[in-house]
Structure 1
Amino acid sequence: MPERLSTSLEYGVESLLDHGVMKFPKAGLLATSESRSWNGIAAELRAHPAGEIPDICAQQTEITFAVHGSAGGSVQRRGNGQLQITPSRTGTIWLCPSGIQEDHIRITENIPEVLHVYLPPSQLDIRSESTSHRPEFGEAFYRAGLEDEFVRQICLRIVAELREETSGGALLMEHLAMALTAHLFDLSDRASRSAPRSPETGALDRRRLRRVCDYIETHWDSELSIADLASVACLSRYHFSRAFTAATGETPGRYIGRRRLEHAAELLRRTDISLTDIAALCCFSSQTAFAKAFRRRFQQTPGAFRRRVRA
């Protein structure tokens, strides 16, 4: 198990995962996004033993989700003088905004699987593209036992991506980071204001959509980001993701993942390029991850697909 983790993410964040190393020195690391090239978000899946967790002041927003909780245990934590005691059962959600000083965290029973999602402060810059000021989470957003199905489903999707990498996973995670940030601000707004915020709507027009799709077809074998695609569409990152999904019925990550696998199938049909090289072209971190994603898409392994189409 690694002693030290580091990652390089966009938006000026160099070591989101170092937070987990410092905060959870005794927790077992089950999975990490360290080598996944995710932008604007990082995640870890950990096994937490009962005991105390060191004092720390968060430098990024942390969302914690009990994937597999404990039956009768609880988490006791105190941030900026606010004490919270929450059952650590499966599905429990904790929020900790950046700048909160936690001087007491105690886990009363072992928690087998806990997801930690980290959003850097600069993720707020994306949200500020659609507002007149740079928003921030306040101390009141230090919450435990949050009941929110949207956050829960995003956490479950992140867990699934950590456990089994997909072709468009990096793009999907970037999209989810923005959706999660926007949703958390909506929660914060509703807590402080009675008037709900009107959602933004509108799909990409045909001309912009064609331009973006053409760009994806030209660069499908390169690392793509939401920022790249938004620039092609001449939109902000925040508005682009919504508009693209409205126009295609797929998130940018899912669309790119599908097209990469379709290109992979064409390479298997028409060339002798090795499976390892095709996996790399499709931006997978390993041939195993590529084979799993390909099988989900085509119901057979890349090798079996190549043999069948050439028979």
Structure 2
Amino acid sequence: MTSLYDHGAQKFPDAGLLASSLGRGWGGLAAELRTHPACDIPDICSRQTEITFAVRGTGGGMVERRGNGRFQATPSRSGALWLCPKGVNEDQIRLTEAIPEVLHVYIPDDQIDALSGLASRPVAFDENIYRAGLEDEFVRQICVRILGELREETAGGSLLMEHLASVLVTHISGSYTDHCIEKRGGGIVGALDQRRLKRVQDYIEDNLETDLTVAEIASVACLSRYHFARAFRTAVGESPNSYIGSRRINRALSLLSSSEMSLVEIAFVCRFSSQAAFARAFRRQLGKTPGEYRRSR
């Protein structure tokens, strides 16, 4: 378990350590409570599967990160969740404002291996579960319980943490990997398999500046429009149109940060009907307007 804490110290050299489970005899997971300054975190290849929970966040700050080429930007407000599997190469992590309290939960390989022994085939926590701004109240409440034990140790804390680790890994596997769509024996029960999902996601990324339709994307997955829409929502947790909207906002973030394009031009490139529609969608997702975001950079 010591290597779990080594990972935290290596990844966050400038972060203050407020509390740690090191030396408490926890089984199944490790946890650290840190305070993070506004900074750029050094490039790192993740050596552990990590869940990050903003205990006390910021009013208008952002966390921008890029793992294996996938850029994500998320408001660092209280309650925000991030998921990073082992093996993802993060070459950009930027905190625009200091975050007072952040819980980092590290999951060792043996927990995932134990779940694989119960599944029809090995469970893969790979780059497909690299997620930011996770809206998952179940994971959030588990993090709250881990935080409570970290702050005030109880007699049964070690046993509880081992149980929570098993529940957490099972939930992540069931919600964010293709194991959520299989029964023992491999019967499909409703979602896109990972091969089709990746093909669809790659197509969306390559065509964000065109007028994408659900029918067009469904043809990439070789499914009817109705079947595709249901299968995509089951696999990803949101509708195709909602997912495309989020990806276009991410594209807009990149353009706001790296180009001199006007807001009107960015709205057009990202296929919003007007600058006003772009601003409304941007504020809804990130809590600030495109102009405010650009000025904060």
TM-score interval, smaller chain:
0.5 to 0.7
- Unaligned 5+ runs, structure 1: 1-8, 198-311
Give 1:185's aligned residue. 173
- In the TM superposition, what whole-angstrom CA distance separates every residue of 1:166-224 from its partner, at most 9, and x where no partner exists? 00000000000000000000112369747269xxxxxxxxxxxxxxxxxxxxxxxxxxx
Structure 2 Cα separation of the partners of residues 150 and 106 of structure 1: 27
Structure 2 Cα separation of the partners of residues 84 and 78 of structure 1: 6
1:140 maps to 2:134: no
Structure 2 Cα separation of the partners of residues 90 and 143 of structure 1: 17
- Unaligned 5+ runs, structure 2: 182-187, 192-297
Letter in 2 for 1:188: Y
Give 2:85's aligned residue. 97
1:1-311 matches, cutoff 5 A: 9=1, 14-189=2-177, 193=181, 195=189
Structure 1 Cα separation of the partners of residues 80 and 172 of structure 2: 16
Structure 2 Cα separation of the partners of residues 138 and 125 of structure 1: 13
Q: Give 1:125 shift.
A: 1.6
Q: CA RMSD in A?
A: 1.7
Report SS of the residue matched to 1:16.
helix
Percent of matched pairs sharing the same residue: 61
Give 1:269's aligned residue. none
Structure 1 Cα separation of the partners of residues 53 and 154 of structure 2: 22
Structure 2 Cα separation of the partners of residues 182 and 152 of structure 1: 15
Report SS of the residue matched to 1:72.
coil
Letter in 2 for 1:53: I
Larger Rg belongs to: 1
Q: Give 1:134 shift.
A: 2.0
Letter in 2 for 1:45: L
Q: Give 1:139 shift.
A: 1.2
Equivalent pair of 2:48/2:107 in contact (CA under 8 Å): yes
User: TM (normalized to structure 2)?
Assistant: 0.60
Structure 2 Cα separation of the partners of residues 49 and 93 of structure 1: 18
Letter in 2 for 1:118: Y
Report SS of the residue matched to 2:106.
strand
- In the TM superposition, what whole-angstrom CA distance separates every residue of 1:116-171 from its partner, at most 9, and x where no partner exists? 00001221121023113221112121000000011000000000000000000000
